[in-house]
Amino acid sequence: MTRIIFSLLTSIAALLGANAATAQSPLAANAPDSHVVVPGDTLWGISGKFLKEPWRWPEVWRMNREQIRNPHLIYPGQVVYLDRSGPYLRLGKQVGDPLYEKRFPQAYSESLTGPITSISIDAIKPFLSQPLVVDEEGLANSATVIAVDENQVFAGKGDTIFAKDVPPGTQSWQLYRPAQPIKDPITGEVLAFEAFHLGSAQVTEDGEPATLRIVAGLQEIGKGDRMLPSPGDEFFSFAPHAPEGPVAARIASIYAGVNVAGRNDVITISYGEDQGAAAGQILALYRNRGTAEYTGDGARETFVLPEKRYGLIFVFRTFSRLSYALILDSNGPATIGDSVRQP
């Protein structure tokens, strides 16, 4: 696999050439000449070692756009090299490869096979699998709990429930309850609904209604609660990149109902698939500074002060009109209504 990657990088290098050398991607202070990938590294973290603006990572890689968006190509033990004449980055052979080129400094590490992820998974893992936001289409396509076994009012872990609109062949389900609406902070339009996660269930018998056993219960589950198929355990493989077009959105909500958020917190933004949102996009946060009045020179004038850029976010899960994003960097608190734009 490593040899294939290296051959691919070498063959397309001429396509990027001088285009990779751009003042738009200045090197970070004390950027290293190389970096050996280690367990726990993320694509964002490695980017920050080399570049002041880590989201410009694809611009200086000697890889085409689709390949650099796939961190499956990067494993612990491989070496990222910096050529300052571009600048551009390239991926070398894994440490310990018998064909390792002697002209490069050598390092040694234990053999590891797991690819690195885009960002730290710990902060976003619940948001990748649980139905925490649901739009009108999701509500319309949800299965519904119609009864609890043994005439119970509510069910918990290990209990049996019955649900309608459960298609055959889908075995694992997440249970949720629609909660408060998420509104556009400017227009007040309802964009989606928060979904209160209740637990998970497995189908034990197909039919209409289907029979399910609750395998995890965080809250009591009863008639009228909704169900969505559980997503698979996909490797999170979206490299940081800037959106291709302009973005004009707002922070619509902050998870857990709090008023402010900071670094490593998850926010919901009013920017979804319908507007071009995609997992892996890097966006900037801007704070409204308000207005200022000037009464000098015998006149009163009001000026709208320019917004202040104060942070970066990473889009990691998208819906029709909303997206989840992780705050990567923040100089001050993020609040509902703050602007979200391209970096």
For residue 225, the model assigns a pLDDT of 94
For residue 308, the model assigns a pLDDT of 92
Instruction: Give CATH for domain 248-341.
Output: 2.40.10.410
CATH topology for 2-91 is Membrane-bound Lytic Murein Transglycosylase D; Chain A (3.10.350)
Higher pLDDT, 246 or 109: 246
Higher pLDDT, 3 or 306: 306
User: 117-121, 179-183, 211-215, 229-233 — which one is most confidently predicted on average?
Assistant: 211-215
Higher pLDDT, 40 or 256: 40
Answer whether 39's CB lies under 8 Å from 76's CB: yes
Cis peptide before 87 (omega within 30 of 0): yes
Sorting pLDDT into bands at 50, 70 and 90, what band is 64?
A: very low
Whether residue 52 is predicted with pLDDT greater than 60 in this model: the reply is yes
Structure tokens at 196: 């209160």
Structure tokens at 220: 């009591």
Sheet harboring 79-83: ordered strands across?
Answer: 34-36, 79-83, 88-91
Q: Residues 127-144, buried b or exposed e (16+ Cβ, 10 A)?
A: bebbbbbbbeebeeebbe
Within 13 Å, how many C-alpha atoms sit on residue 13's CB side? 13
For residue 204, the model assigns a pLDDT of 96
In the 3-class helix/strand/coil scheme, how is the chain assigned residue by residue? CHHHHHHHHHHHHHHHHHHHCCCCCCECCCCCCEEECCCCCEHHHHHHHHECCHHHHHHHECCCHHHHCCHHHCCCCCEEEEECCCCEEEECCCCCCCCCCCCCCCCCCCCCCCCCECCCCCCCHHHHHCCCEECHHHHHCCEEEEEEHHHCCCECCCCEEEEECCCCCCCEEEEEEEEEEEECCCCCCEEEEEEEEEEEEEEEECCCCEEEEEEEECCCECCCCEEEECCCCCCCCCCCECCCCCCEEEEEEEHHHCCEECCCCEEEECCCHHHCCCCCEEEEEEECCCEEEECHHHCCEEEECCCEEEEEEEEEEECCCCEEEEEEEECCCEECCCEEECC
* Cβ partners under 8 Å of residue 126, min gap 6: 132, 197
For residue 300, the model assigns a pLDDT of 87
Residue 84 one-letter amino acid: R
Whether residue 130 is predicted with pLDDT greater than 70 in this model: the reply is no
For residue 287, the model assigns a pLDDT of 92
Strand 334-335 versus strand 282-287 pairing type: unpaired
Phi, psi of 172 (to 5 degrees): -105, 135
Whether residue 7 is predicted with pLDDT greater than 80 in this model: the reply is no
* Predicted confidence (pLDDT) per residue in 133-168, tens digit: 787 777 888 999 999 998 788 999 999 999 999 999
Higher pLDDT, 304 or 90: 304
Question: Domain map of the chain by residue range?
Answer: 2-91, 125-229, 248-341
Q: What is d(CA 254, CA 48) in angstroms, rounded to the nearest whole number?
A: 26
For residue 256, the model assigns a pLDDT of 67
Whether residue 318 is predicted with pLDDT greater than 50 in this model: the reply is yes
Structure tokens at 72: 């499956």
For residue 236, the model assigns a pLDDT of 58
Mean pLDDT on 237-259: 83
Phi, psi of 164 (to 5 degrees): -100, 165
Whether residue 121 is predicted with pLDDT greater than 90 in this model: the reply is no
Strand partners, 143: 227
Whether residue 309 is predicted with pLDDT greater than 60 in this model: the reply is yes
For residue 72, the model assigns a pLDDT of 56
Among candidate residues 226, 120, 137, 223, the one with its CA nearest the CA of residue 179 = 226
Q: Please give the mean pLDDT across all residues of the chain.
A: 79
* Predicted confidence (pLDDT) per residue in 270-295, tens digit: 999 999 999 889 999 999 888 899 88
Whether residue 242 is predicted with pLDDT greater than 60 in this model: the reply is yes
Whether residue 132 is predicted with pLDDT greater than 50 in this model: the reply is yes
* Cβ partners under 8 Å of residue 108, min gap 6: 95, 96
For residue 202, the model assigns a pLDDT of 94
